[in-house]
Amino acid sequence: MDFNLTEDQLAFREAARTFAEKSMAPHAAKWDNEHIFPVDTLKEAGEMGFMSIYTPETLGGMGLSRLDTSVIVEELAAACPSTAAFITIHNMATWMVASFAPDDLKQNVVPKLASGEWLASYCLTEPGAGSDAASLRTKAVRDGDHYVINGSKVFISGAGDTNILVLMARTGAADSGAKGISTFVIPADAEGVSYGKNEEKMGWHSQPTRTINLENVRVPATSRLGDEGDGFAIAMKGLDGGRLNIATCSLGGAQAALLRARNYMHEREQFGKPLAAFQALQFKLADMATNLVAARQMVRLGAFKLDSGDTEATLHCAMAKRFATDACFDVVNDALQLHGGYGYIREYPLERYLRDLRVHQILEGTNEIMRLIIARRVLDNGVAEAIQ
C-alpha cells in the first residue's frame, strides 16, 4: 500500500489551494456575516473544473476519482467549509444526472452544471422523512408522457437560487417503501414550484436553505433518472460519495483550525512563556493532529473502496463519515478552546468553523444512522473480512 499522493494529486491539491486562498478565504467571513451566496465564485470554481470533479470528461467534467476529489475538496473547505459543502452537493447532483439520465437530458443539462453556469440542488428530505428517507410522501403520478408531482421538501441547500432540482418522489403505492421511489430532474423555475424563506441557521450562512413546495408540477417522463422505482437506489449511490464529500469538508475545516491553533500557541504568552511551552497544551495539540490524520486516512480508504467498486464501499463510506465528522468537530472545538476568549469572537474564524462543521454530523445521514448502517453490517456474519 502506498499512502503518498501521486504527482497528479499533488498538482490538484496545489491548484485547489491556490484557488481557495485567492477566491474563497478573503471573502468567507463576509459571506458568513451577510449571508451571501457567492454565485460568481461558484462559476469561477466551475471554470477550474471544481463543480464537476468526478463527472465524466465527455460531459464537461474532470473525470477524476473520489480519492482525487477528497484531495481537492479538503483544500476548498480549509478556506470556507460552507461554500465547499455546497460545491460537493452540486457535484453529487451533477454526477447523478450524468450517470443515470437519458442521453438527451445528459447532453442538455450536464455541461451547464459542469461549468457552473447552472447550479443544482439535491432534494430528498421532507418534513416527515429525514433519517427514514424511504418514507417520503412527495408523489409523482404518471399522466401520459408526463408526471405530475405534488409534495414538499425541506432543508434543501441552494433552493431558490439554483437552476435544477434533482428530486426524489414516490411513483409507487404509499406502502411501497424504497422500491416505490423515482428520481427526477426538474427546472427550478417550473410552474408550480415555490420556495419558503431562507432558513436562519447556526452555520452554513454562505448557502441558502429553503423549503420547496411542488403543486401540480408537470415534467416530461424523459426527466426521470433510470427506471421507475430506481430512485432510492440512485439517491443512495449519490450519498455514498456525498458522505465522503461532507467528511472531507470536515477535514478541511479541522486542518485550518489546527494550523491556526499551532500558530497561536507560538504567538500567545502567559506566565512569561508561550503557550507552546506548556506540556498540557502540547498534548492537546498532539491529540488533535492524531485524530485529524486518522480521520483523513479513513476518508481516503472509503474513497478507495468507492473507486474500486468494493462491495463494502457503503460500509466504509458510513464509517468514514461518522468518524471524520465527529473527530474533526472535536479538533475545531479544541482549537477554539486553545484560543481562549479570542476563539469565541468573530475576529478569529474559529467560531465560524465550529458552526459550519457542526451540521456535518447531521446531514447526508445523521451519525446515528451511520452507526446503524455499520452495526447491521458488523452483525452480519459475512462481513468479517470487510473490517480486517
138, 152 in Cβ contact below 8 A?
yes
195, 230 in Cβ contact below 8 A?
no
Cβ neighbours for 159, distance < 8 A, ≥ 6 positions apart: 121, 123, 153, 165, 188, 195, 208, 209, 210, 211, 212
* 242 vs 380: CA distance, rounded Å: 25
State CA 71 to chain mean position distance.
14
Pairing status of strand 273-274 against strand 269-270? antiparallel
CA-closest candidate to residue 69, choices 90, 48, 47, 91: 91
- Report residue 297 as a C-alpha cell: 486516512
The one-letter code for the residue type at 294 is A
Of 74, 126, 351, 364, catalytic: 364
* 94 vs 54: CA distance, rounded Å: 9
Residue 135: how many other CB atoms lie within 10 Å:
15
73, 193 in Cβ contact below 8 A?
no
Q: Is 215 a catalytic residue?
A: no
* Secondary structure letter of residue 23 according to DSSP: I
Angle between the 66-79 and 7-19 helix axes, to the nearest 10 degrees?
30
Query: What are the backbone dihedrals phi and psi of residue 141, each rounded to the nearest 5 degrees, phi first?
Result: -105, 130
Active site residues: 364
